Chains A and B, each alone.
Chain A
Amino acid sequence: MLSRVADSIFWMRRYIERAENVARFIDVTLNLTLGIGAGHYQQWEPLVYTTGDNELFHEHYDQVTQANVIRFLTFDERNPNSILSCLKMARENARVSREMLSSQMWEELNKFYLFVRDNRHDSTAVDSPFEFFGRIRQAGYLLEGVTYSTMSHGEAWNFGRLGALLERADKTSRILDVKYYLLLPDVSDVGTPIDISQWGMLLKSTSALEMYRRRHGRLSPKQVAAFMLLDRDFPRAIRFCVSRAEQSLLAITGGTTGNFSNKPEQYLGRLRAEFDFLHIDDVMDLGLHEFIDNFQVKLNLAGDAICETFFEVIPVSAS
């Protein structure tokens, strides 16, 4: 297939996944901050920091309030990672590769974009955030399901899935990091019901609480990290995302696991192997936050290699 088209489909799905995850970020912060007292006004700052758009936010907003952060992350077109910006980009990418998509996919994406765009001057997102961001998550599920069941699982589909899974792995790591930045009302609250309840909320925002319970039972910070990073079967766990991303990559290249013939295979295979053989104690020894930082660097490396190898094909000069 054309590099340009593969590029578009990869990014189309990546942006959709990003939009959905911004909604999850907001959801987790809302859940974590409601009912914990006046300190909740300080808790929106870490969110802007976690998403990596701290500086841009402060360029355009004076105060870190819930409403400002929600607007910035949802509707602000000056923020390239806002939900609206992401959906706009996803839609642009879909437009230039529309001939590869099923008409249902295009239609759902278009509806998704229009829903967010039409609400941008509305107060719904701020006044009824759970309702609004719940609908965003739902639109994400719908689009994923339509893609799965109406598009042939061939090369284009695999490029799309690769994009979506890399994005999801990155975002899961950042959601886990939210807890790192999040302030407890008091240092002595570590390990208290409030702390435990926060870990529960975090799992809930990644739709992981019930599956976590079946796997690990009681809540402990270490087990939550183990689940989100290392679970084989949970579809938002990083290990799951990385291993399925590698499957899509190998389906594209025709390669096999255990060796590599190009940079994407090398980087992604190495990352997959690392997660296959990682123990949660290794992560804790290094420190969860540090581990996540390192992981994001490696994931970016794989992402960049995919772009260079497949999308930015430069003709080899004769010299």
Chain B
Amino acid sequence: MEQVNSNFLNNDPLNISKYDTRGFFDEMFSEAGVARPGVEFLVDKLTALPVGELQRRQRAADHELLNMGITFNVYGHSAGTEKVWPFDLIPRVIQEEEWLHVERGLKQRIRALNMFIDDLYHDQKIIKDGVLPEYMIQSSKGFLKQIQGMKPPRGIWCHITGTDLVRAGDGQIYVLEDNLRCPSGVSYVIENREVMKRTFPQLFEGRNILPVETYPEQLLKMLQFVSPSSSNEPTVVVLTPGVHNSAYFEHCFLAQQMGVELVQGSDLLVKDSYVHMRTTRGLKRVDVIYRRIDDDFLDPDCLRPDSTLGVKGLMQVYRAGKVALVNAPGTGVADDKAIYAYVPKMIKYYLGEDMILPNVPTYMCADDSERSYVLENIDKLVIKPANESGGYGILLGPKATKEQLANYKELIKSNPRNYVAQPMLDLSTVPTLCGDSLEGRHVDLRPYILFGEDIYIVPGGLTRVALVKDSLIVNSSQGGGSKDTWVLRNESSGV
């Protein structure tokens, strides 16, 4: 197709030349509204689009997502409510050089966390050496006494992690939280790329963008690696709580893309000290279970007796080393916003290294002096419950009413261990199509980390975007959307 001088075709219909970063760190434009190095090509392509073209492509993408059935269930709505997760067509670009730095930081962090979990269930040296106060563990919801002294296959606890990163106003990338239980969202990373290629292939032309499509391959590789059986072809399954779970789409997607069975608890049983699944040809032994149900529900014999989602006797098989559970039960102890605050010390303690990717400064309400600071400055801080996920229970001090603030003060005083506070961060923005022009919207980033024979990190990860103007809440359950995330190799940037 011949290139036409764009100036004749349009007059910057998306108003890109007037894009205002409004004082935030924008991922695409510098403060002066100039394209950052490496993304000039993207800005040029967007500027050159004919009137209405981006909107047309956006509608095509929305249509694709609906047709592909890429949906999530929202709790609190009537059962089975499926919603398409909003997707914005303008990608978030990360230069490879910066990405390599992030990758190093994440690998370091995940190694330390794995050693930490292992230590907690064995000698607890980190407590004996006075690095972590003992009450942190005693009061931890995620700590499983039932598996003390146990070694998971290959010594890996946190096989799959989604670490939330944010870039603050200073341009620095911080780790916001570690999701080590059943982090979801990776299916959107893969599907977003697919939709992006289908609807806007021109943006990719001539660029070298690291592939994300290999995630299911890497996941399967890792799952097979941790199999306790000596078989060359271990049987791997994905265990879902069922069709009403908010991430059910992802459970199906991952099982389908790996070509393994998607099972529910009722499909599995324990017999002759192994886990089996019921098939049309009788019982089939299962070696690895990628479980997407919480620890508490895994086994009514050992954990919550009222659980109907798990498998009776599963933990005994697990303890006998005859099945692998991914992530390992008990990993949730490190998925705790109070434990998070200790990760810098952990890295120093276990690896003897300085932390590569910094934490966000965090006040522990369990500490007397930090708590009184938090209570005095609550209107400037973000208050987070230590053990929740999905953005539930978070209070944004500067945006809260007086009544809410008072309410949270009481909550903190009644259970200080369960709350942490962080300064309100100015999350970075990415241009997002809003009506007929581009406006900055706040984003975070969740890379997915697989810990198997080696550590694999999906290049980029999930960029979640707060679609509501000025909002900082990116969670899918609370009005967030997502974007494709490109890790751009620099070698072809001049072509």
Contacts and interface: CB of A to CB of B under 8 A. Distances in A.
Interface string A107-144: 00000000000000001001111110010000000000
Contacts of A36: 208-209
Interface stretch (B147-155, B156-164, B213-221, B379-387): B213-221
A284 interface: no
A290 interface: no
Contact of B217 (A40, A128, A196): A196
A126 B1 CA distance: 8
Given A34-B197, A36-B208, A213-B260, 16 more contacts: A37-B206, A37-B208, A37-B492, A38-B208, A40-B205, A66-B1, A127-B202, A128-B201, A130-B198, A196-B214, A197-B214, A200-B213, A213-B258, A215-B259, A216-B259, A217-B260
A34 B489 CA distance: 13
A34 B214 contact: no
Interface string A15-40: 00000000000000011001111101
A197 B256 CA distance: 17
Contacts of B60: 128, 131
A212 B217 CA distance: 12
A193 B489 CA distance: 14
Given A37-B206, A196-B214, A218 B220 contact: yes
Contacts of A41: 206
Interface string A186-219: 0000000110110011000000011011111111
Contacts of A210: 256-257, 259
Interface residues of B, number: 31
Interface of A: 30-31, 34-38, 40-41, 65-67, 123, 126-131, 134, 185, 193-194, 196-197, 200-201, 209-210, 212-219
A168 B495 CA distance: 38
A107 B489 CA distance: 49
Contacts of B224: 217-218
Given A67-B1, A196-B217, A219-B217, A34 B256 contact: no
Contacts of A193: 211, 214
A67 B3 CA distance: 12
Interface in B184-202: 197-199, 201-202
Nearest to B459: A193
B470 interface: no
B129 interface: no
A34 B199 contact: no
A38 B493 CA distance: 9
Interface string B125-162: 00000000000000000000000000000000000000
B272 interface: no
A37 B217 contact: no
B206 A197 contact: no
A213 B198 contact: no
Contacts of A196: 214, 217
Please give me the 5 A-B residue pairs with the lowest Cβ-Cβ distance, nearest first.
Answer: A213-B259, A37-B208, A38-B495, A35-B209, A214-B259
Contact of B201 (A37, A129, A201, A217): A129
Contacts of B111: none
A37 B213 contact: no
Contacts of A37: 206-208, 489, 491-492, 495
A273 B396 CA distance: 71
Contact of A35 (B204, B214, B216, B233): B204
Contacts of B207: 35, 37
B258 A35 contact: no
Contacts of A128: 60, 199, 201
A65 B305 CA distance: 64
A210 B216 CA distance: 11
Nearest to A199: B217
Interface of B: 1, 60, 197-199, 201-202, 204-209, 211, 213-214, 216-217, 220-221, 224, 233, 256-260, 489, 491-492, 495
Most chain A CB within a 10 A radius of its CB, from B214, B256, B489: B214
A30 B201 contact: yes
A131 B205 contact: no
A34 B233 contact: no
19 contacts: A30-B201, A35-B197, A35-B207, A37-B206, A38-B208, A123-B1, A130-B197, A185-B208, A196-B217, A197-B211, A197-B214, A200-B213, A213-B216, A213-B256, A213-B257, A216-B259, A217-B220, A217-B233, A217-B259
B258 A217 contact: yes
A130 B203 CA distance: 14
Contacts of B495: 37-38
Contacts of A123: 1
Tell which of A130, A200, A212 has the most Cβ of chain B within 10 Å.
A130
Contacts of A201: 213
Nearest to A38: B495
Contacts of A219: 217
Contacts of B489: 37
B240 to A, nearest CB: 17
Given A197-B213, A210-B257, A213-B257, A218 B221 contact: yes
A141 to B, nearest CB: 15
Given A38-B492, A38-B495, A130 B205 contact: no
Nearest to B53: A127
Nearest to B213: A197
Q: Which of B199, B213, B489, B491 is most buried by chain A, counting CB atoms within 10 A of its CB?
A: B213
A131 B217 contact: no
A73 to B, nearest CB: 15
B215 to A, nearest CB: 10
A4 B16 CA distance: 63
Contacts of A131: 60, 198-199
Contacts of B209: 35-36
Contacts of B208: 35-38, 185
B167 to A, nearest CB: 23
Contacts of B260: 213, 217
A300 B335 CA distance: 62
Contacts of A35: 197, 204, 207-209, 211
Contacts of B211: 35, 193-194, 197
A185 B260 CA distance: 32
Nearest to A31: B197
Given A35-B211, A214-B259, A200 B204 contact: no
B401 to A, nearest CB: 47
Given A40-B206, A67-B1, A34 B201 contact: yes
A36 B337 CA distance: 39
A175 B121 CA distance: 53
B217 A200 contact: yes
A36 B204 CA distance: 8
Contacts of B204: 34-35
Nearest to B489: A37
Most buried by B among A35, A66, A131, A196: A35
